[in-house]
Amino acid sequence: MLGRMLLSLVALLVTLTGCDSMQKAGAGSDIHALPFLQVKAAPDSLKGQAVVFGGTVLTGRRLKDGTRIEILQLPLDRSTRPVYDLTQSQGRFIAFQQEFLDPATLPTGTRVTVTGEISGSITLPLDETDYTYPVINIKQLRVWTKTEDVAPRIYPYYYTGPGPYWGPYWNPYWRSWPYW
């Protein structure tokens, strides 16, 4: 009986803690709700909606009223980092920064994550055709540097001394390894 009450109390506390953290997240918790294809299909009807998209920079251009960045959309991983596989792209979008942003700081191939609001669409020439881009007004721009871009590597075996064998299964001295 006491065990059930204790278990119920723990479950209640976990539930309340989860509700509190969801309230703190607020509207930001729905920020991933709009998929890129939905925005690409009808950007003008989704004006003002918050989104997070990522990809690689194709071009950057300074305009009179801001900086226009053309980005090849890529899906995001758990860390909101764009994936590497360019074949997973579902199209392109324009990220617009109203304050000064030097396009030289975002060279072609730079991986970015954009948090912002949909402001509509713009049609621009793309090779020999016209392409309609969803436009995102940037609230936050995350540039992924080379050091952040590399996944940590875990090496299961360590070289522990001279000889042709390495790792715990081949080295007779593997028990002297420091475990941490």
HSE (side-chain half, CA atoms, 13 Å) at 115: 12
**CB-based contact 93:120 (threshold 8 Å):** no
Task: Give the torsion sign (CA, 9, 11, 12, 17).
Answer: positive
Inside any domain, residue 168: no
What is residue 146's predicted lDDT score, i.e. its pLDDT?
75
Inside any domain, residue 11: no
Inside any domain, residue 14: no
Inside any domain, residue 83: yes
What is residue 53's predicted lDDT score, i.e. its pLDDT?
96
Inside any domain, residue 22: no
What is residue 39's predicted lDDT score, i.e. its pLDDT?
95
Average pLDDT, the chain: 78
- Here the tokens at position 87 are 């074949």
Which structural domain range is residue 80 located in?
28-149
Q: Annotate 77-145 with DSSP letters as a single string.
A: -TTSPBPS-GGG---EEEEEESS---GGGS-TT-EEEEEEEEEEEEEEEETTEEEEEEEEEEEEEEEE-
Inside any domain, residue 13: no
What is residue 169's predicted lDDT score, i.e. its pLDDT?
52
Assessment of whether the complete model's pTM goes beyond 0.85: no
What is residue 145's predicted lDDT score, i.e. its pLDDT?
84
Residue 130 main-chain phi, psi, to 5 deg = -105, 145
Distance CA 114, CA 140 (A): 6
What is residue 14's predicted lDDT score, i.e. its pLDDT?
47
Inside any domain, residue 89: yes
Burial class from Cβ neighbours inside 10 Å (0-12, 13-18, 19+) for residue 43 reads buried
What is residue 50's predicted lDDT score, i.e. its pLDDT?
95
Distance CA 74, CA 111 (A): 9
What is residue 81's predicted lDDT score, i.e. its pLDDT?
93
Q: Which segments in the chain show pLDDT lower than 50?
A: 10, 12, 14, 16-30, 171, 180
Which CATH number goes with the domain that contains 128? Answer: 2.40.50.140
Number of separate domains in the chain: 1
Q: Encode pLDDT of 91-137 as tens digits.
A: 999 999 998 899 999 999 999 999 999 999 999 999 999 999 999 99
What is residue 126's predicted lDDT score, i.e. its pLDDT?
93
Residue 50 main-chain phi, psi, to 5 deg = -85, 140
